[in-house]
A and B are shown apart, each in its own frame.
Chain A
């Protein structure tokens, strides 16, 4: 059974940092690209960052570029998101997600249940 379990969410002050982790099981992490997607309270889904199967290619949404860093450790079945210079606009439920490639881009075939990040003073 494919499982993605996020951790690391908490309350952090504006300007602070946080590291999210995602532990995966039920599949070989190195066979898939992975993404982080977030949902702010009352808002829709927003793609945050993605990483290809071996970490050689990464991408970031415009709202987090330069502040967030995605990484992976295939041997430890783990995905991470390092978040710096956090603002209230980063408050959201953060989902770890497994990517699949389609003929024209990517989609997500499995999601975790999310970890909550709250940026507040």
Chain B
């Protein structure tokens, strides 16, 4: 069981907007620790798409955005494209654990 909970799957048609949630607790997201998001296509290296909750690395389209409120964070993708189909993982820090990083279980995004 992951400390951060994500829905197993989401889907959307090309051009639509989807959001992926990442639910934590008072010792991680709720404590104000930043959330980071990764895009992973099987067989390739995972790719950072959002860091420090709301920031996009250079080269990541502005269709990707991040937010957080309370004990949850979200990744939003607008103008959905076929190349967005991948698994997305959230990651943060938990003050009650010794791990330097904790991850969500991952969400498979299907572009219909």
Interface residues of A (CB under 8 A from B): 4, 35, 37, 43-47, 50, 59-62, 95, 100, 102-114
Do A107 and B51 touch (CB < 8 A)? yes
Q: Are A102 and B51 CB-contacts (below 8 A) given A35-B101, A50-B100?
A: yes
Known pairs A59-B100, A112-B45; A100 contacts B51 (CB<8 A): yes
Q: Is B48 within 8 A of A109, CB to CB?
A: yes
- Which of B32, B46, B51 has the most chain A CB within a 10 Å cutoff? B46
B69 proximal to A (CB < 8 A):
no
| B44, closest chain A residue (CB) | A113
- Closest-by-CB residue of A relative to B105 is A44
B interface SS class = loop
The interface centre, meaning the residue of A35, A60, A105 with most chain B CB atoms within 10 A of its CB, is A105
Contacts of B43 in A (CB 8 A): 113
Size bracket, chain B contacts: 20 to 34
Cα of A58 to Cα of B102 in the assembled complex, Å: 16
Q: Is the CB of B2 within 8 A of A59?
A: no
Interface residues of B in 42-97 (CB under 8 A from A): 43-48, 51-52, 57, 89, 91-93, 97
Residues of B close to A46: CB separation below 8 A: 103
* Chain A: CB-nearest residue to B1: A44
In the complex, given contacts A35-B100, A106-B100, A108-B46, what are 11 additional A-B residue pairs having Cβ atoms less than 8 angstroms apart? Answer: A45-B46, A45-B91, A45-B106, A47-B101, A47-B102, A59-B100, A61-B99, A102-B51, A108-B48, A108-B101, A110-B48
B1-45 Cβ-contact flags toward A at 8 Å (1 or 0): 010000000000000000000000000000011101010000111
Whether the Cβ atoms of B103 and A45 lie closer than 8 Å is yes
Chain A nearest CB, measured from B79 CB (Å): 25
Chain A residues lying within 8 Å of B51, measured Cβ to Cβ, are 100, 102, 107, 109
